[in-house]
Structure 1
C-alpha cells in the first residue's frame, strides 16, 4: 500500500509536466525525480529482501513470485510514467522547433514576396513617371508644333491679291471686247476671252512688292485665213520650235463685203484691208514679235474707249519682245503689272502655242512655244474644288516660294514638285495638322530629285494626271522630260544646288522659330541673294518691316 500511494503521488506530480508550459527548468526537475525513484526502488528492494528473510522458507517461493510480479508491474508503471512525460517533452520540443522553422520559412517567403511587391511597385512608379515624362514631352512637342504651325500659317498668310486679280480680269475682258470692235473690219487675229494663268492667280505668288497678273489671250485666225500648227520636232515635250502656218481660205459667197484672197486679183485686193500674211507674218508664218507689238498698240487704242480710262492709267512697259506687259495705275498710285501672253489653242486640248518668254539666248521670231500654263492653272482649280474651304495647299506653295527665294530653284520646278505630291498624297492629309510633315515631304522629294538629277514633267507621260485634263495624245504616250537636265550637263551647278538644298531646311526652321506675327510688307526678290542678303532676308521676315 505504501508503494501504491507513492506511485500515485509521483503520478500526480509528474502529470502537470506534460502540459503546454514546458521549459528547461521542468526538464531538470524530471531528471531529479527519476534519480529519486531509483533510490526509492532500491530501498523497497532492500525491504523486500528483509521481509523475505523474516518469513519462513515455505512461503518464500510464493512470496518471491508475488513480489516479483508486483515488482514487474511497478517497474512497468514506473517506466510508463517516466517515458510518457519524456515523450511529451520531446514531442513538444520537436513541435516548437518545427513551428520555429515554419515561422522562419514563412517569414522568408513573406520577405521575398514583400521585396518582389516593392520591386513591382517601384517599377510601376517608374513606368508612371516615364509615362508622365512622355506625356509632358508630347505636350511640349505639340505646343511647339502648334507654335510652328501658327508661325508658318502667319508666314503663309500673305495677301492673295484675289480682289485685285478679279478686277484686272474684268477690266481686261472689257478691253478685249472693245478690241474686237476696233478690228472688226480688218484681217488681224481675233482676240478672245482671256484665261488667267501664273502664280498670282493660282494664289501663291512670289514675295514681290508688285505682283504680276499673268493672263493668256487666245486668238483665232481672221476671216479668210486658216492657222495650221507646225509642231516641229516632238522628241522633247513641250515643243519649243513650233510655228503657226497662215494660209488663205476661199470665202467666195460666204462673206458679204469681202473679197476672196484666193480668187481675187491683186489690183482688186488693194481696195481691201491688207491680209494677215502682209501684216504680222514673216513669209507664211505668224511672227511673234510683230504680233506682240501689234497687240500692245491695239490695247492702248482700245483703252481710250473704256470708262475706266478716266480713273486708271494704262502704259506699256517695253521690256519684252514676245509678250505684252502693261502697267496699270489707279488714283491711289497703286500699280499693277499685267503680263499678257498670246496663244493659239492646239486642237481642242488644254495646250497652247504661246508667245511665252524663254531663257534661250536666241529664238526665231516665228517660233512659238508649246505651253502647259492653261492646263496647270486648270489643275490648281481642280485641287481647289476638292480641297473645299481649307485650301491649305496654297499655303504650302507660299511658304515654299518664300523659302526658295534667292536660290537656284525656279518657281516652275517648285510647282512641279507640288503637283506631283498633291496627286500622290490624299487631299485630307494636307490639313494644318500635318503642315510640318508635308513641308518635310516637299523638301525630301526635292532633295531626292536633286540627288538623282531628275525631275519629271508633270503633264507629260504621267498616268496620275486626272482624266479631266484634255491633253494631246503625244503628252499621254511620250516619256516625260527631265526638268533637271541642266544639272546633268553642269556638275558644278549640281554641287551648288545640293549645297543650297542643305540650307533650305535651316531657312525653313529659322522662319518657324522667329516668325512671331505676320509682317506688313515683305522684301522683294531683287534684294534677296546669297550670303548676307539671304541672312538679311530671314531677319526681314522674322520681324515687322
Structure 2
C-alpha cells in the first residue's frame, strides 16, 4: 500500500503540472531547465562520491570480517543438522505447515491482492489525462466568433514575422551607417559632464551653510548616455543625480506613499531635528538648550531653519529645494566660470534645474540636475523629477531606480564577453522609435525605450552572457521584440527590480524588494483598451521598420 500511495502522488504531480510547449522555446522554461540541470549535475556528483565511499568501506569490512563469517556460518550449519535430527516433524505437522504456506507468492500474489486499487488508479489516471487534453484544446480553440471579435488586431506574437528577419550583415551595415559615429565620443562626453557637475557641487558646498542647508553629495550620471546606449537627442541630453543628505542637527526619514492612480511609486521625506551633543545623545540626562531652542522665539533657531525654508509642514518640499539649488548653482558658476570656455545658462523653471552649455562653435549640451534622497543603504532614490502626466503635490518625491539599473548594465559590460550585442539591440530599437516620435507636446507614444530596456534586462538574467556574442545579433534582437510582444499580448511586463527573485545580490536594493509582489508596467493597458490597441499598433510599426532595414524589401503589414 505504501508503494501504491507513492506512485499515486508521483503521477498526480506529473498530471497536474504538465508543461505546455510550443514551436518556440520559452525563455522562462529554458532558464529553469538550465538551473535544474546544474542542480541535478551537482547532486549526481555528490551521489557518485558517496557511492564510491560506501563501496570502499564495504570492501574493507568484507576483507576483515569475511573469514570470521565463513567460520560462523559452518558452525551454524552443524547445529541446524543436529537440531533437525532431534526434532523431526510428524505428518500432521507437515500438513499444518503446508496449509499455512498455501497461496500464490511473489509479484503475482501482490498484484492479485491489490487488483482493486490498481483498477481505480488506472481509471483516475485516464480521467485526468482526458481532462487535461480538454483544457488544452479549449485554451487554443479560436473557433468561437466572440473570441475572434475580441482578439482581432491584438495578436502580437506569432511566428509568421520571424521568417524574413534581418540577417547579420544587414544589421551590422545599418548600425555602422547610422549609429556608430553618434556613439563614438559618448563616453568621453559623459565623463566631462560628471566632472563638471562635481566641480559645481564643490563650489556649492563652499557657499552653503552646513547647519541650515541640505548637504550635496557626489553626483551620479544616469540614463541612456551614461549606460552607453543613448543615440540621437540623447547624445547631447544628460541627466545627473545629485544626492541630498540632512544637515547637522537634522535627519531625514522616508515615508512610502502610493498615489491613488497610476503606477508611479513615491514617498515623502520627513525632517526631524536631533541634538548632536554627545551627553544628551549618549546619556540623555541633560537637555541641550542650544539644539532644543523654542522655535516660537523671536530670535529664531538655526536648527529649525531647514523646516522653515525647505519644508511644508514637516515634509521636505520639492519646489523649495529646487529653488534653493538653482540659486546655489548660479552662484557656484560665478566661482568656476574661469575654468571653462562655454556659456552657461539656466532656463527658468519651477519644477527642474536644467543647465544649457553653449560653445562658440554652436554646439550645446543640456544637463538636467535631479535632486535625490537615498532610501536606506540602497541605490534607490526619491527624486525631484516626475513624469509630466503625473500630478503630484510639492511634498511627493517619486521613486527612481535609475542608479540600480545603471549599476546592473555596468556589471554586465564588465563580465560579458568582448563586443557583446545587447546595447546595439537597444540602440537600434531606440533609433527606429525616434524616427516616428511626435513633436514634444503632442500625444506621446505608449511604448517607450524604457519598456524595451526592461525586456533586455530580464533577458540578460535569463540567458548566459555568452549568448550575446556579436554573431548572435539577429537572434537577440528578435528575442527582445518577442519578449515585449508577448508582454503586450498578455498585458503584463514586470518591473525589473521589484519582485525579481533572479536579481543578483550585488545590486543594492531595499531588503523587501526581492520578496515583494511584482509590479506590472503594463497595468494601465489592462484598464484602457484604446491604449492597448495603440501600443500594439506601435509595436507592429516597429517590427515593420526592423524588417525594412537597408538591403531588405518592405513587406508591408506584418503578423
Common topology (TM > 0.5) = yes
Query: Structure 2: any 5+ residue segments left out of the alignment?
Result: 1-163, 281-287, 438-444
CA-to-aligned-CA distance 1:219-269 (integer Å, 9 cap, x gap) = 1101111111111349999863410000111134699xx983423565475
Q: Assess, with a 3 A threshold, how the Cα gap between structure 1 residues 308 and 418 changes in structure 2: closer, same or farther.
A: farther
Whole-angstrom distance in 2 between the partners of 1:185 and 1:252 = 16
Question: Partner of 1:312 in structure 2?
Answer: 342
Query: Structure 1: any 5+ residue segments left out of the alignment?
Result: 1-140, 516-530, 532-545
Whole-angstrom distance in 2 between the partners of 1:479 and 1:440 = 29
Q: 1:294 aligns with which of 320, 324, 327?
A: 324
Q: Assess, with a 3 A threshold, how the Cα gap between structure 1 residues 504 and 278 changes in structure 2: closer, same or farther.
A: same
Whole-angstrom distance in 2 between the partners of 1:148 and 1:239 = 36
Q: Does 1:425 align with 2:445?
A: no
CA-to-aligned-CA distance 1:131-167 (integer Å, 9 cap, x gap) = xxxxxxxxxx999642443333443414232211111
Whole-angstrom distance in 1 between the partners of 2:213 and 2:412 = 37
CA-to-aligned-CA distance 1:465-524 (integer Å, 9 cap, x gap) = 111011112211111111111111111121222222222222012224279xxxxxxxxx
Q: Which moved more, 1:244-253 or 1:479-488?
A: 244-253
Whole-angstrom distance in 2 between the partners of 1:476 and 1:268 = 50
Q: Does 1:170 align with 2:195?
A: yes
Secondary structure of the equivalent of 1:492?
A: helix
Secondary structure of the equivalent of 1:378?
A: helix
Query: Is the contact between residue 210 and residue 247 of structure 2 (CA under 8 Å) also seen in structure 1?
Result: no
Secondary structure of the equivalent of 2:189?
A: helix
| 1:460-475 mapped onto 2 (5 Å cutoff) | 460-475=498-513
Q: 2:292 aligns with which of 244, 252, 262?
A: 262
TM-score (norm 2): 0.62
Q: 1:146 aligns with which of 169, 180, 203?
A: 169
RMSD: 3.0
Q: Does 1:394 align with 2:409?
A: no
Query: Is the contact between residue 346 and residue 353 of structure 1 (CA under 8 Å) also seen in structure 2?
Result: yes
Distance apart, 1:322 and its partner CA:
3.4
Query: Is the contact between residue 182 and residue 232 of structure 2 (CA under 8 Å) also seen in structure 1?
Result: no
Secondary structure of the equivalent of 2:513?
A: helix
Secondary structure of the equivalent of 1:419?
A: helix
Q: Assess, with a 3 A threshold, how the Cα gap between structure 1 residues 240 and 269 changes in structure 2: closer, same or farther.
A: farther
Q: Assess, with a 3 A threshold, how the Cα gap between structure 1 residues 295 and 314 changes in structure 2: closer, same or farther.
A: same
Query: Is the contact between residue 153 and residue 395 of structure 1 (CA under 8 Å) also seen in structure 2?
Result: no
Query: Is the contact between residue 220 and residue 240 of structure 2 (CA under 8 Å) also seen in structure 1?
Result: yes
Whole-angstrom distance in 2 between the partners of 1:216 and 1:489 = 33
Query: Is the contact between residue 225 and residue 235 of structure 2 (CA under 8 Å) also seen in structure 1?
Result: no
Question: Partner of 1:436 in structure 2?
Answer: 474
Secondary structure of the equivalent of 1:473?
A: coil
Distance apart, 1:352 and its partner CA:
1.1
Secondary structure of the equivalent of 2:551?
A: helix
Whole-angstrom distance in 2 between the partners of 1:411 and 1:209 = 12
Q: 1:364 aligns with which of 370, 389, 393?
A: 393
Whole-angstrom distance in 2 between the partners of 1:437 and 1:377 = 24
| 1:201-240 mapped onto 2 (5 Å cutoff) | 201-208=226-233, 211-233=236-258, 240=265
Q: 2:275 aligns with which of 250, 275, 286?
A: 250
Q: Which has the higher helix share?
A: 1
TM-score (norm 1): 0.63
Q: Assess, with a 3 A threshold, how the Cα gap between structure 1 residues 158 and 269 changes in structure 2: closer, same or farther.
A: farther
Distance apart, 1:186 and its partner CA:
4.9
Q: Which moved more, 1:188-197 or 1:496-505?
A: 496-505
Whole-angstrom distance in 1 between the partners of 2:294 and 2:353 = 35
Whole-angstrom distance in 1 between the partners of 2:234 and 2:240 = 19
Query: Is the contact between residue 273 and residue 303 of structure 2 (CA under 8 Å) also seen in structure 1?
Result: no
Whole-angstrom distance in 1 between the partners of 2:517 and 2:534 = 28
Question: Partner of 2:450 in structure 1?
Answer: 412
Whole-angstrom distance in 1 between the partners of 2:322 and 2:279 = 30
Query: Is the contact between residue 215 and residue 340 of structure 1 (CA under 8 Å) also seen in structure 2?
Result: yes
Higher-Rg member (1/2): 1
Whole-angstrom distance in 1 between the partners of 2:205 and 2:172 = 49
Query: Is the contact between residue 495 and residue 520 of structure 2 (CA under 8 Å) also seen in structure 1?
Result: yes
Distance apart, 1:316 and its partner CA:
1.1
Whole-angstrom distance in 1 between the partners of 2:353 and 2:326 = 6
Q: Which moved more, 1:306-315 or 1:361-370?
A: 306-315
CA-to-aligned-CA distance 1:244-301 (integer Å, 9 cap, x gap) = 000111134699xx98342356547548586100101111100001111211111111
Q: Does 1:284 align with 2:334?
A: no
Secondary structure of the equivalent of 2:432?
A: helix
Q: Assess, with a 3 A threshold, how the Cα gap between structure 1 residues 284 and 151 changes in structure 2: closer, same or farther.
A: same
Secondary structure of the equivalent of 1:205?
A: coil
CA-to-aligned-CA distance 1:315-334 (integer Å, 9 cap, x gap) = 11235x43321111223231
